[in-house]
Amino acid sequence: MGEELYPSAGPRQQDVTLKGRRSHWILPAFLAVFAVLWSAIAFPIAYFTIRDEGLQFDLPHLPMLMFPLAGIVLLGVAGWSFVRAILLSMRFGQAAAVVSVQPGYPGETIRIAAAQLLKTDTPISQATLELRCDEWVRWRRGTNTYTETRTVFRDTRTFDDSCVTNGHVQLVAEFTIPPDAMHSFHASDNHVEWIIMFHIDVPGWPDPKREFAYLVAPRRASSVERQVPRQPEPVLHHQNKARVAIELEPGRFGDSYRYYLGDPIAGTVTVSTDHGLNCRGVYVQLNWRTSGKGDCDEKTVSQEYVHRGPLPAGENKFSFRFNLPDGPASYDGEILSVNWYISAWVDLAWARDPGCERIIWVEMPPADHS
């Protein structure tokens, strides 16, 4: 996970021109390469099979006929994709989108201006400008890899043909990012993406559609209270040699599991053992991990050894303190969740470490929070 997990909430840029996510030539080129490679393998196999054994339509020989037919279909689809791209380039030039500020904050209203160059006099029936939020996950089962995208927010504005001026389709609209929305998040197998989509409906002609990636930074409006899960029970691990418990000090909300990004977290780890325990020490970690449909992404943000050396019998208490980073925030989505937790472990040599996990809920700070 070398890429940036979430955008910084530092200095922001005004009137930013966004880059399109992909060109309409990418799909035709990919299909053409795939169709040529498929056909280069399937056709020689089918040719030599028919030459040596003759044309037979029994069950063992049907796959040899289906693969070349699939290659012909792929070549046809690739050809139509190239024709569509050529038709689009005949009438439409470059498209651009300008946002009033980037990154945006949850609860903030942004202004989006999109423009599409018309090369010829092109009648349009309508145009749409859309802001949406997608969850994207990827998971692996054996040698197969699967992906799924789920749209969790969509706000669309529709314009009639009066938006055409001076050879351009020009759309301007204001959108409000929901106060309780998740910020942009990019881990290896789990993404939350904010996208601006610009679509023109042209009668009797392929419709141009462009998408632009937009960034939303961790923050939310102070006027909206977000519903949070009830305080979960701790998760215990391998408690046969020592019993480990985590107790957190109450935070700003008066309980011990809700915090703002950037808040300090303090608490106590209690390790109880009936007999003295020969261990390397006791360490505490501040972590987050994803859950849901995709493969798990996780990261240890901070780690602290609160004790080094063997433990005497009885209750042993150790205090710890962490500072939460600027992101990511806790998130409970449809196919993707982000969960923060504190874990404490007794470091044993040549044995499974007994430990405990305590789930916490980390919110984006309000707009007026300092």
Query: Residue 12: its pLDDT value, please?
Result: 85
Q: Are residues 129 and 210 in the same domain?
A: yes
Q: Are residues 32 and 171 in the same domain?
A: yes
Query: Residue 225: its pLDDT value, please?
Result: 46
Query: Residue 2: its pLDDT value, please?
Result: 42
Q: Which range of residues forms the domain containing residue 355?
A: 235-363
Choice among 167-181, 318-332, 354-368 with the minimum mean pLDDT: 354-368
**Where among 214, 249, 275 does a domain terminate?**
214
The verdict on residue 8 lying in a domain is no
The verdict on residue 4 lying in a domain is no
Tell whether the model's pLDDT for residue 286 goes beyond 90.
Answer: yes
Q: Rounded mean pLDDT of 347-362?
A: 90
Tell whether the model's pLDDT for residue 331 goes beyond 90.
Answer: yes
Asked whether the beta carbons of 199 and 209 are under 8 A apart, the reply is yes
Q: Rounded mean pLDDT of 66-94?
A: 84
Kindly indicate the confidence band of residue 66, based on its pLDDT and cuts at 50, 70 and 90. confident
Query: Residue 32: its pLDDT value, please?
Result: 83
Q: Rounded mean pLDDT of 317-327?
A: 94
Three-state DSSP at 121 gives: coil
The verdict on residue 261 lying in a domain is yes
Kindly indicate the confidence band of residue 352, based on its pLDDT and cuts at 50, 70 and 90. confident
Give the bridge partners for 198, in sequence order.
Answer: 129, 210
Q: Rounded mean pLDDT of 105-112?
A: 93
**Can you tell me the distance from the alpha carbon of 174 to that of 139, in angstroms, rounded to the nearest whole number?**
36
pLDDT in tens, 211-258: 999 999 986 434 344 555 556 667 767 777 889 999 998 877 776 688
Q: Are residues 117 and 246 in the same domain?
A: no
**Can you tell me the distance from the alpha carbon of 106 to that of 175, in angstroms, rounded to the nearest whole number?**
11
Q: How many domains, in total, are found in the chain?
A: 2
**Can you tell me the distance from the alpha carbon of 269 to that of 356, in angstroms, rounded to the nearest whole number?**
9
The verdict on residue 220 lying in a domain is no
The verdict on residue 225 lying in a domain is no
Q: Are residues 184 and 239 in the same domain?
A: no
Q: Which residue bears the tokens 């798990």?
A: 296
Q: Rounded mean pLDDT of 344-367?
A: 88
**Which pTM was predicted?**
0.81
Q: Rounded mean pLDDT of 158-176?
A: 91
Q: Are residues 195 and 271 in the same domain?
A: no
Q: Are residues 200 and 248 in the same domain?
A: no
Q: Are residues 49 and 172 in the same domain?
A: yes
**Where among 162, 181, 214 does a domain terminate?**
214
Q: Are residues 271 and 320 in the same domain?
A: yes
**Can you tell me the distance from the alpha carbon of 133 to that of 29, in angstroms, rounded to the nearest whole number?**
28
The verdict on residue 3 lying in a domain is no
Kindly report the number of other CB atoms within 10 A of residue 367's CB atom.
Answer: 15
Q: How many residues does the chain have?
A: 370
Q: Are residues 194 and 254 in the same domain?
A: no
**Where among 163, 184, 214 does a domain terminate?**
214
Q: Which positions ≥6 away from 86 have C-beta within 8 Å?
A: none
Show the tokens assigned to 235.
């998760």
Query: Residue 62: its pLDDT value, please?
Result: 65
The verdict on residue 85 lying in a domain is yes
Q: Rounded mean pLDDT of 156-177?
A: 92
Q: Are residues 70 and 196 in the same domain?
A: yes
CATH number, domain of 95, equals 2.60.40.640
Q: Are residues 186 and 277 in the same domain?
A: no
Q: Rounded mean pLDDT of 122-126?
A: 90
The verdict on residue 7 lying in a domain is no
Q: Are residues 183 and 263 in the same domain?
A: no
Average pLDDT, the chain: 86
Query: Residue 45: its pLDDT value, please?
Result: 75
* Angle (CA) 154 201 96, round 5°: 70
